[in-house]
Structure 1
Amino acid sequence: MRSKLAEAFYKNAAKMPEKMAIWCDGESMTYAEMANLVSRYSNLLLKNGVVYGDHIAIPMNNSIESVALLFSAADLGVCLVPLNPTLPLEAIVSAMRSGDMKHLIARKAFFVECDKKGGIQVEGVSVCLDGEYGDTVPFAQIETMPDSRPACEKITGDESLILTMTSGSTGKPKPIDISQNNKYDRAMAHIRVYGITKDDRILAATPLYHSLAERLVILPMVLGATSILLPRFTPALWLNCAKEQKATFTIAVSAQLAQILDALSKPDAPSIDNFHCIVSSSALLEESVKYKLIEKLNCEFHEMYGTSETSTITNICFQKTANKQKSVGLPFDEASVRIWDEDDARDCIPGVVGEILCKSTLACKGYYKQEALFAASIYDGYFRTGDLGYMDEDGYLYFAGRKKELIITGAVNVYPNDIDEIVRRIPEIEECAAFPYPDDKLGEIVALAIVPKEQEEVRIRSVKAYCARHLADFQQPHKIFIVDALPKNALGKLLRMNILEHIGALGLDN
C-alpha cells in the first residue's frame, strides 16, 4: 500500500500541475515542480542508504525543501525528527539518542558549530543542505537524481512519520510518536471543521519543528490548496505576506495574534480583508484582543484547545457563540472530554474545576520507547492533559490553567489566569503573570511579574490598590516584580513556572 499523505499530494500534482503548491520567502513552486522535488528528494535519500523505518534528524528551518522532505519521508516510510536548530548541541544530541536517529540533514552552519564542540556522529548519512562540508553529502546532489517517484508499496499508515520532541519535568526528551495516519486524519478533521477547500491559501508562520506548522503545510498539499510559508515570524512580515499572498486561512498562536493586533493598530498598517477564518492556538487569547482582531480582519475567528499528544480537542467560533466568549469550545467529532477530580476519584459536575482528560481518534501512538511514561498519562482510556478546566451545562469547555501552575496558598486554590485577566486591564501594563512564590507559613503565596508598556511607569503601590479593589482576598499578590520581559518558549508561549528563576537571575528576588 502507498502512503495516504503522499498519494493525496501526487494525485493533486497530476490533476493540477500548473497550480501554485507553495510559496516561501519570495520563491514558489507549482504542484508539478513540487512533485519533482519530492521525488528527487526520495531518490537522494535512497541512494545514500536511507531505508524504510529509518529515523532522520533535521534541525528544521522553514523552507520549501523542508516541506518536500516531509512528503518524501511519508512516501518512503521514513520517520523525521524535526529539531529546533537554536538548541544547545547537548540538547540536540540528547534528542537524537531518544529518537534513535540514524541520519542527519542540516545546514553547513550547524555542522560547523557542532565541530567546534566536538562534532556529532550518526550511524548513517549526513546531508549538508547549503554547500559542501567535510564528509557530508551535498544536497546539490539532488539535481542529478531522477524525478520519477520511487516505488514503496509496504506503507500501512501506522509507520512513525514525526517524532515531536517535548520535555518532561526532568528535562528528558519525550518523543511524541505521530504516525502517517495520525497526520492524515488530523488534516482531514481540520479541513472539515474549518471549511477549508482547494481554493484556500493557507498561511503557516510558526517553526516547522512544531506540530502546528507541520499541520498547516500538510493541509494544502493533501487538499490541492496553496501553502504560504513564512521563513520566520514578525508582525510586519505576517501582515505583508498575508496581504500580498492573499492568505485566506491560518492557525496562529495567541502570542503572535497579540503582536499582529499591535501592528494593525499603527497608522501605516495594511488593510487586510482576504481571510475567511483565523484560529487562535497554544494559549488563551485576551477577550479584548479577540474583539479587535475580529473588527480589523473581518473574518470568522475561532479558538481551539488541544495537546501535541491528542491534536485539537475542542473548537469555538466566537461570532456564532456570543454567550460563550470565555470558552474554548465543544469537542471535535473525533474527541471526548471529561473533567476529573483526582482527590475524590470522580468526574466533576458542570462548573467545577478539575483536570481536563481527553480521548481522541486523532491521538498519537505514544512516547517513542517510553511506553511506561505514556501509560502513566492515561486514565480509563483518557489522556491526562495536566490542564485544569471545567465544563458548563451545554458541554462547552473552559480552560483554567496548567495544573502545575496552580497556586496553593494556605490550602486555597488560586488560578493565576484569573489574576492575569484582571491585572492586565491596568492601562500602563503590557503583560503580566501571576505565579507561585514559596512561603514558610502558607506554602505558597501569590506573586506577580509585570512588564510595563513602552515609556510607561508602573507603580507597585497603584497595582496593589487596583488588586485590592478588583480581586478577592485570597487572590491578592503579596510580591510584585517589574521586569522587561517574561520567559517564553520559541512560540511565544508564557513559561509561568520559569518566572521565579528568571526573577532570581535578574537579582530582583532579594
Structure 2
Amino acid sequence: MQVDTQPIWYDHYPKQIPHSISYEKKALHLFLKDTMITYPNHRAINFYGNTWTFKQLWQDVVTFSHGLKEMGVQKGDRVAIMLPNLPQTVISYYAVLMTGGIVVQTNPLYMERELKHQLIDSGAKVIICLDDLFPRVMKVKKETSLEKIVVTSIQEALPFPKKVLYPLTQWKEKKIKVDVEVDDQHIFSFQKMLRKKRTDEVNVEINGEEDIALLQYTGGTTGVAKGVMLTHENLGANTTQCLHWMYELDEGKEKILAVLPFFHVYGMTVSMNLSIMHAAELIILPKFEPEEVMKTIEKQNITIFPGAPTMYVGLLNHKKLKHYDLSSIRACISGSAPLPLEVQQQFEKVTGGKLVEGYGLTEASPVTHCNLIWGKRKEGSIGIPWPDTEAAIYSSEEDRLLEAGEIGELIVRGPQVMKGYWNRPEETAVTLKGDWLFTGDMAYMDEDGYFYIADRKKDMIIAGGFNIYPREIEEVLYEHEAVQEAVVIGVPDPYRGETVKAFIVPTKERKVTEEELNAFCRSRLAAYKVPRLYEFRTELPKTSVGKILKRVLVEEEKKKTSFPYEQTK
C-alpha cells in the first residue's frame, strides 16, 4: 500500500519540526551514557529530596548491571521489573539493557493469576520487586521459570530523615517485612548489590535495529495478554520523535514530573526515556495524589507534565487548586484516553502552559500522532502523524486506502513500530502486514490531514488511563460457582472516563451478592480491573443463535447516563 509521497499533514508542521529525522540506532542505555558525559553534574532524579546526578545514576546503573551479570543474566534473558515509580525502577531498567537483557515491565498491581501468566509467557528468570510484593512473587515462583529475586523498598530511596520516619507514616495495618540481607542463592538485596561499586560498564554487543529491549504486555483486541517486542531502535526513535515535537524544550533545563507509571509504555517513553535523552530532571512520584502533585509542581517548578485526562481532571476539580501556583508548566501531552476539550481549555487557563492530546498504542512504542503543541490543533482530533510516521485509513472489505472523511481502520508505519508479538507469529501476521501496523481502531482523516478516532478497539474499556479487556474479567466471573452468565462493559464515569460494570445471571441453585463477587474478583484481578458496578438479571439480550448482545447493554447505559465535564467553582 502506498500513501502520498508528500502527506498533506506536513503542510501544518512548524519549520522547527523536520519531516524526517536521522536516528541513532544504538542500545538505549547508551543515550544515558551520552547525557552523563555531557551533563555529569546535572540533576537526573529527584525523589522526595533525594537526588542523583547523571554521573551518580550512571554509576548505579553500571554497578547494578554487574550484579545482574554475576547472578547469570545474559544477552536475551528476560528480567521482570515489578516496581512503582522509584529511582530503583530507572536504575533497573537501564542496567538490564546494559547486560543485553530484555526488560519485562510488570504492573505492581497484578495479582498472582496475572503475574503468573506474564512470567510464564515471557520466561523471565529474574524479577526485581518491591518488598511488599515479595510474598506475591513467591506464591507463583515454583510455577514459573524464575530463578532469582531482587528485592527493594520505597524506604531505601528516601533521604534522611524521611528514610527513618517512613515506617511510622504508613498505615497501621501490619506490613510484611522481608529480610533480604541474609546470604541466599535465590534472593538478593537491591541495596546490597549497589554497595559493590563498579565503574567499568558491562559491554555487550547490541544491534539496536534487531535486538529486543522490552517486552511490554498488552491485551490487544482479544484480551489475552501478549508481549509486544520493542527494539532499542523502536524506543529510541519514538523518544527522539517526541523531542522534535516538543521543540521549544531547553536541553538540560527542563523538569519532568513522572507520575505516569513507568511500567506503562507511555510513561516509560514520554517521562523516563525523554528525561534521560534530553538531560531533564526527573521528579518522581510513586502514585497520583492531586494535592501532592500540585505541591510538587509549585515547589519544584515543573515544566513538563505528561499525564492522562483523569489526572488533569483530578487537579482541576480539587478544592485546593487555587492555593497552588502551577504556572511553571510549559507543555503537557495527554494520552491513554480521549481528552475533553473543556479539560484542555481549563488546564491551559490555570497553568498558562499547553496541553495537547496524542494517540498511540503499545505496539508503536507508543506514540504515532499528536496535536501540535505550538501550532494548529483541532477539537476532537488526535492530531497529525509524527516525523517519519505514515498513517492511512484502510478498508478491509474493499482492500483499499480510503479518502478524507471515510471511516476505516487506522494503519501506521514508522521506526517506532514493534517487531511483533513474543512467541505469537500467527497474531503478529494479523497485526503486522508488511511494515504496516493495523491498529484495530476505526478512524478517519479530514481534508487537512488531521486524524480522528471514530471507535476504539472492540470492547476495550479505558478507565483512569488503564486499558481493561472485558474478556479477562468475564473469565474470572465465570469461575464463581454462583455465576451462570456474565458480561462486562464500560459505562460513563465522571472521573475515570469509564468504569467497569458487570451484568450477572446467577445460577438457580445459589444466590450471590455484589459484595461476594467483589471480594472474589479482588483476589484474582488488579484493583483497577475489578467491576465497580454490578447488575443482576434473569437473562441477557442475545441473538437468535445465543450470542450475548453486548452492544445492546452498552446502548442502554448510554441512554441512562451522561457525565459532562464541570469545573469546580
| TM bucket, shorter chain | 0.7 to 0.9
TM-score (norm 1): 0.77
Corresponding residue number in structure 2 for 1:377: 431
Distance 1:170 1:391 in 2: 26
The answer for unaligned runs of 5 or more in structure 1 is 407-415, 418-434, 436-446, 454-486
Matches within 5 A, 1:323-472: 324-379=378-433, 381-405=435-459, 449=491
1:10 to 5, 30, 33: 33
Report the CA distance between 1:405 and its aligned residue. Answer: 4.6
Q: Are 1:279 and 2:333 counterparts?
A: yes
Structure 2 CA distance for partners of 1:360 and 1:14, relative to 1, 3 Å: closer
Report the CA distance between 1:128 and its aligned residue. Answer: 2.0
Structure 2 residue matching 1:58: 3-state secondary structure: strand
Corresponding residue number in structure 2 for 1:185: 237
Name whichever structure is richer in strand by fraction.
Answer: 1
Q: Are 1:107 and 2:130 counterparts?
A: yes
Corresponding residue number in structure 2 for 1:136: 187
Structure 1 residue matching 2:447: 3-state secondary structure: coil
Structure 1 residue matching 2:62: 3-state secondary structure: helix
C-alpha contact (below 8 Å) 1:49/1:125 kept by paired residues: no
Structure 2 CA distance for partners of 1:123 and 1:449, relative to 1, 3 Å: closer
Corresponding residue number in structure 2 for 1:218: 273
Structure 2 CA distance for partners of 1:203 and 1:505, relative to 1, 3 Å: farther
Report the CA distance between 1:402 and its aligned residue. Answer: 1.1
Structure 2 CA distance for partners of 1:373 and 1:279, relative to 1, 3 Å: same
2:82 to 44, 50, 59: 59
Report the CA distance between 1:119 and its aligned residue. Answer: 5.4
Report the CA distance between 1:389 and its aligned residue. Answer: 1.4
C-alpha contact (below 8 Å) 2:68/2:96 kept by paired residues: no
Matches within 5 A, 1:278-317: 278-310=332-364, 311-317=366-372
Structure 1 residue matching 2:442: 3-state secondary structure: strand
1:152 to 176, 188, 203: 203
Report the CA distance between 1:75 and its aligned residue. Answer: 1.6
C-alpha contact (below 8 Å) 1:294/1:301 kept by paired residues: yes
Name the amino acid aligned to 1:79. I
Corresponding residue number in structure 2 for 1:82: 105
CA deviation map 1:105-124 (0-9, x unaligned): 22233222344578565453
Report the CA distance between 1:251 and its aligned residue. Answer: 1.8
1:245 to 300, 305, 313: 300
Distance 1:2 1:399 in 2: 32
Q: Are 1:176 and 2:231 counterparts?
A: no
CA deviation map 1:113-155 (0-9, x unaligned): 3445785654532222245346412223224423213331411
Distance 1:234 1:104 in 2: 28
Distance 1:317 1:126 in 2: 44
Structure 2 CA distance for partners of 1:152 and 1:117, relative to 1, 3 Å: closer
TM-score (norm 2): 0.69
Structure 2 residue matching 1:190: 3-state secondary structure: helix
Distance 1:230 1:508 in 2: 46
Distance 2:64 2:48 in 1: 20
Name the amino acid aligned to 2:214. I
Report the CA distance between 1:25 and its aligned residue. Answer: 3.2
CA deviation map 1:448-478 (0-9, x unaligned): 945579xxxxxxxxxxxxxxxxxxxxxxxxx
CA deviation map 1:58-106 (0-9, x unaligned): 2122110110111112222111111112212121111111112111222
Report the CA distance between 1:317 and its aligned residue. Answer: 2.9
Corresponding residue number in structure 2 for 1:468: none
C-alpha contact (below 8 Å) 1:111/1:119 kept by paired residues: no
C-alpha contact (below 8 Å) 1:3/1:74 kept by paired residues: no
Distance 2:413 2:433 in 1: 10
Report the CA distance between 1:352 and its aligned residue. Answer: 2.1
The answer for unaligned runs of 5 or more in structure 2 is 1-23, 154-177, 463-469, 471-488, 496-520, 542-569
- Which region of structure 1 is more displaced relative to structure 2, 168-177 or 232-241? 168-177
Structure 1 residue matching 2:406: 3-state secondary structure: coil
2:118 to 83, 95, 98: 95
Structure 1 residue matching 2:61: 3-state secondary structure: helix
Q: Are 1:234 and 2:289 counterparts?
A: yes
Distance 1:293 1:305 in 2: 19
Structure 2 residue matching 1:198: 3-state secondary structure: coil
Structure 2 CA distance for partners of 1:448 and 1:140, relative to 1, 3 Å: closer
Structure 2 residue matching 1:252: 3-state secondary structure: coil
C-alpha contact (below 8 Å) 1:61/1:207 kept by paired residues: yes
C-alpha contact (below 8 Å) 2:308/2:337 kept by paired residues: yes
Distance 2:490 2:256 in 1: 38
Structure 2 residue matching 1:504: 3-state secondary structure: strand
Structure 1 residue matching 2:332: 3-state secondary structure: strand
Distance 2:218 2:436 in 1: 20
Q: Are 1:262 and 2:317 counterparts?
A: yes
Q: Are 1:25 and 2:48 counterparts?
A: yes
Distance 1:50 1:38 in 2: 15
Report the CA distance between 1:357 and its aligned residue. Answer: 1.3
Corresponding residue number in structure 2 for 1:504: 535
Distance 2:492 2:145 in 1: 45
Distance 1:17 1:165 in 2: 34
Distance 1:450 1:77 in 2: 44
Structure 2 CA distance for partners of 1:382 and 1:18, relative to 1, 3 Å: same
C-alpha contact (below 8 Å) 2:79/2:125 kept by paired residues: yes
C-alpha contact (below 8 Å) 1:503/1:509 kept by paired residues: no
Report the CA distance between 1:490 and its aligned residue. Answer: 8.1
Structure 2 CA distance for partners of 1:333 and 1:505, relative to 1, 3 Å: farther
C-alpha contact (below 8 Å) 2:35/2:279 kept by paired residues: yes
CA deviation map 1:385-408 (0-9, x unaligned): 1111111111110112214259xx
C-alpha contact (below 8 Å) 1:49/1:124 kept by paired residues: no
Structure 2 residue matching 1:389: 3-state secondary structure: strand
C-alpha contact (below 8 Å) 1:355/1:403 kept by paired residues: no
Structure 2 residue matching 1:404: 3-state secondary structure: coil
